[in-house]
Amino acid sequence: MDIADLDEQLAKKNLQGFWAMERSFGGGLKPKPFLWKWEDIQEALDLASEHVPMDKTGRRAIVLRNPTVEQGITDTLNVSIQLVKPGEVAKAHRHVASAIRFIIQGAPQACTIVEGERFPMEEGDLVTTPNWTWHDHHNGSDKPAIWLDGLDARLVRFLHVGFSEPYNHERQVVEKPDGRMDKLLGYARPSWMKSDTLTPPFRYRWTDVFPTLSALKESEGDPFDGVRLQYIDPTNGGPTLLTFSCEIQLLRPHEKLRPHRHTSSVVYQAFRGRGLTRVEEETLSWERKDVFTIPPWNWHSHENPSDEDAILFSITDWPALKALGFYREEARS
Ligand code: GTQ
Ligand code: FE2
């Protein structure tokens, strides 16, 4: 019997010789870097705003579709840009996938209600809706509310753990006072309370984050990521969420950072200014609000060739990779 005959016989019994397996790492599609220009996203939002009613899906979101991954933007993360018109409600639900909102255009009257508490959404704020927390979005302002949604939905789907549930009303009752979570997670904490969520929902105000970033402007910073902050889980000082981390970095005028690579994927949105990110053979040239992605184990480096500060917001799956023992990084010597 030759090996081809054996392979055929094994296949009939749903068996396969190890010698016949696809041996390349990962196989299939190889994720590539990709950049979306804000003007294309804005145009899509304008069209969706005109033609897609909120009751169509309950979320008016434009998904950033990286053609080199099976779905979504990386093999673990999903990113969309969501728009809620004045007076609209994106109805309440919850799911295993954790989500974050990084606000592109907001107002004090726009908010996400998470677990019965209002979290206002103003430009530059980050609001989390962690694993299995109820959430609905409202826009009580007179301009569209627009934000970047980041979710670990790709990872969740791969593992077939995508439980989700609609709420029994369009909106949650606001049963907690504004700013409750801020107070509970301050420097002095109630000794008797136990959290009823895996990770607390939280609003990281831009007006708190920006002063920290500015105060560190003269410091050396990280050789690869410059002056970078991580949004921490206030209950344990760990990453923003169990599966992914949110980060923000400032690139000073004419700053050129060193190249490195890591097994985690990153999705960036330019929040202020412009710059260049070299990824393997490509140069991604980004301006305000553009979104781009760096795949695992791709050499990359950032540069701000302009005379103004540049600020990059990012989400990255290193917490999931570290938890599983899959995280590695390497600096170019
Ligand atoms: O706003 O709850 O972009 O559940 C994808 C899934 C947004 C949301 C998305 C979601 C949401
Ligand atoms: Fe959701």
Say which ligand is closest to the CA of 59.
Answer: 1
* pLDDT given at position 156: 98
User: What atom of ligand 1 comes closest to residue 90's alpha carbon?
Assistant: 1
Q: Has residue 27 got a pLDDT over 80?
A: no
Cα 62 to ligand 1 centre (Å): 10
Percent of the chain whose predicted confidence (pLDDT) is above 70: 98
Cα 81 to ligand 2 centre (Å): 13
Cα 285 to ligand 2 centre (Å): 31
Residue-wise pLDDT for 113-143, tens only, equals 999 999 999 999 999 999 999 999 999 999 9
* pLDDT given at position 24: 55
Alpha carbon 137 to chain centroid distance?
Answer: 17
Cα 100 to ligand 2 centre (Å): 10
Cα 9 to ligand 2 centre (Å): 47
Pocket test for ligand 1, best of 59, 79, 84, 156 (most atoms within 8 A of CB): 59
Atom 10 (ligand 1): residue with closest C-alpha? 59
User: What atom of ligand 1 comes closest to residue 63's alpha carbon?
Assistant: 3
Q: Assign domain 29-331 one CATH number from 2.60.120.10, 3.40.50.300, 2.30.40.10, 3.10.50.40.
A: 2.60.120.10
Atom 8 (ligand 1): residue with closest C-alpha? 59
Residue-wise pLDDT for 184-205, tens only, equals 999 999 999 888 788 999 999 9
Domain residue ranges in the chain: 29-331
Cα 61 to ligand 2 centre (Å): 11
Cα 101 to ligand 1 centre (Å): 9
Q: Has residue 25 got a pLDDT over 80?
A: no
Q: Average pLDDT over the chain, rounded to whole? A: 96
Residue-wise pLDDT for 254-296, tens only, equals 999 999 999 999 999 999 999 999 999 999 999 999 999 999 9
User: What atom of ligand 1 comes closest to residue 164's alpha carbon?
Assistant: 4
**Ligand 1, residues at Cβ distance < 6 Å:** 59, 61, 80, 82, 90, 99, 135, 149, 151
Mean pLDDT value across residues 61-85: 96
* pLDDT given at position 109: 98
